[in-house]
Amino acid sequence: MRTQVAIIGAGPSGLLLGQLLSRAGIANVVIERQSAEYVLGRIRAGVLEQVCVDLLDEAGVGARMHREGLVHGGFEMLFRGRRHRIDMHGLTGGKNVMVYGQTEVTRDLMDARSAAGSPTVYSAANVAVHDFDTAQPYVTYDTDGPQGRQSHRLDCDIIAGCDGYHGVCRASVPRSAITEYEKVYPFGWLGILADVPPVSHELIYANTERGFALCSMRSPTRSRYYVQCALTDSVDAWSDEAFWKELRSRLDPQAREQLVTGPSIEKSIAPLRSFVAEPMRFGRLFLAGDAAHIVPPTGAKGLNLAATDVKYLSSALIEFFQEHSSAGIDHYSERCLRRVWKAERFSWWFTSLMHRFPDTAGFGQKVQEAELDYLVHSEAASRSLAENYVGLPLNFGE
């Protein structure tokens, strides 16, 4: 079998890339090691920057997002027991973010790919990428069917590695050809999803002496809440009752009164890390999304960074196949990394500001509170926060 672009990974970045290429008439096959049901069962981010919203519209999958998503023009910062609103819309000249779960983005992209009849292979085993340092790369994988396990070879012109942090694509690059930067944070996020109305119509980011908390939502009737926890904690040690009690202790009096609790429908602990792999291109292999970079979720940049990678990559590949120009793909890594490191900086700064670190108690906590006090009362500082939160323009700094 042959195609123009082999896309490894059927998460939102791989599916979005496939959708944009298909609409441009470029043949592609998506290969995913997990089942479709597993991919849709992953609970991930839910805040989309305007750049991401525009890209989903460009891909023709934005209709349900606009019907069901929640447009937010601000968010609240809670410290010293009081909330302070950051007016993103006013501070950035009218920009907003969209609250719409990553699971729903993935579902919309899956439905569009299925409707178009574009080929997707789920539950692929032993996926491997070959000869990507030549002009004839190919992918091998196995599938299980009625006649047992079968081996397949997919020849292609380009391999797009959209298979996440633990995927095969980055791992296949020779260690001497790649540089990795990583920071692991000494805590995690315990998250809970529940069918209860949100405590506030906008997100609340809380800095408290007990640790960080985030009040978010997926819809007017479904809420997503997080509390900072120890890396040694286990989900089994946290009952729903214990979670709600801890969350309530980190909120202001009004939010405590308005908090509606209920049984969790999903509960998990996510470790926090910052990670970047350079470069993002290796011959005919291109990395995108979590395969190349990870950000702590504090700044809501993970999915949005993946989307901008896909924007750069799809434009470069369309130019490569339709205009026979390599200019776009030659500059792909440089363009992506310039934006990636700005997002890494913001996510690191926001995480450092809002969380309790082992040495935060006492002096450290007071310094955090002083910086937060300056942040919410300085228009220049608030504008910088808002500008980064809604997302920098695609051509920022170019």
User: Which tokens in the block code for residue 81?
Assistant: 């027991």
- Sequence spans of domains, the chain: 5-72+96-182+273-355
Rg of the chain over all Cα atoms, to the nearest angstrom: 22
Q: How confident is the model at residue 247 (pLDDT cuts 50, 70, 90)?
A: very high
pLDDT recorded at residue 84: 97
| Overall average pLDDT of the 94-100 stretch | 95
pLDDT at 157 over 90: yes
- What is the C-alpha separation between 278 and 293, in angstroms, rounded? 9
Mean pLDDT across 133-156: 94
- From the list 138, 141, 185, 389, the catalytic residue is 389
Phi, psi of 183 (to 5 degrees): -135, 125
pLDDT, residue 145, reads 81
Pair of tokens at residue 37: 């049901």
How many C-alpha atoms does 379 have within 13 Å on its Cβ side? 3
Quote the CA–CA distance of 266 and 247 in Å, as a whole number: 16
pLDDT in tens, 356-391: 998 777 888 899 999 999 999 999 999 999 999 999
297: annotated active-site residue? yes
pTM: 0.93
* Paired tokens of 239: 């009952």
Residue identified by tokens 């539950």 is: 123
Percent of the chain surpassing pLDDT 70:
99
- Own/partner pairs for 245-250, CB < 8 Å, 24+ apart? 246/210, 247/213, 247/215, 249/208, 249/210, 250/206, 250/208, 250/210, 250/211, 250/212, 250/213
List 72, 293, 311, 355, catalytic entry: 72
CA pair distance 72, 390, nearest whole angstrom? 10
Question: What percent of the chain shows pLDDT beyond 90?
Answer: 91
Count Cα neighbours of 365 within 13 Å in the Cβ-side half-sphere: 13
- Mean predicted confidence (pLDDT) in 163-170: 96
Residue 364: per-residue pLDDT: 86
Pick the CATH number of 5-72+96-182+273-355 from 3.50.50.60, 3.40.50.300, 3.30.559.10, 3.40.109.10: 3.50.50.60
Q: Is 72 a catalytic residue?
A: yes
Can 152 be counted among the known catalytic residues?
A: no
Selecting among 100, 138, 185, 205, the annotated active-site residue is 205
301 part of the active site: yes
Q: Residue 253: how many CB atoms within 10 A of its CB?
A: 9
CA distance 189 to 330: 38
Confidence check: pLDDT of 396 > 80? no
Those residues whose C-beta lies under 8 Å from the C-beta of residue 302, and which sit 6 or more positions away, are 44, 45, 290, 294, 295
Query: Given pLDDT bands bounded at 50, 70 and 90, which one contains residue 397?
Result: low
The residues, any chain, with a CB within 8 Å of residue 180's CB and separated by 6 or more, are 275, 276, 277, 278
Q: Is position 183 annotated as part of the catalytic site? A: no
Q: By CB neighbour count within 10 A (0-12 exposed, 13-18 middle, 19+ buried), where does 222 fall?
A: middle
Strands (E), the chain: 5-8, 28-31, 47-48, 70-72, 75-79, 82-86, 97-99, 120-121, 125-130, 138-145, 148-155, 158-161, 179-194, 204-206, 213-219, 222-229, 264-278, 281-282, 285-287, 293-294
Q: Which of 198, 297, 332, 355 is catalytic?
A: 297
Residue range 258-283, pLDDT digits in tens: 999 999 999 999 999 999 999 999 99
205-246 confidence digits (pLDDT tens): 999 999 999 999 999 999 999 999 999 999 999 999 999 999
The rounded mean pLDDT for the chain is 95
Is residue 195 over pLDDT 70? yes
Contacts of 363 (CB under 8 A, 6+ apart): none
**pLDDT band with cut points at 50, 70 and 90 for residue 398:** low
Dihedral of the alpha carbons of 6, 12, 17, 18, in degrees to the nearest 10: 60
Pick the catalytic residue from 95, 293, 301, 355.
301
Taking alpha carbons only, the member of 157, 161, 99, 182 closest to residue 286 is: 161
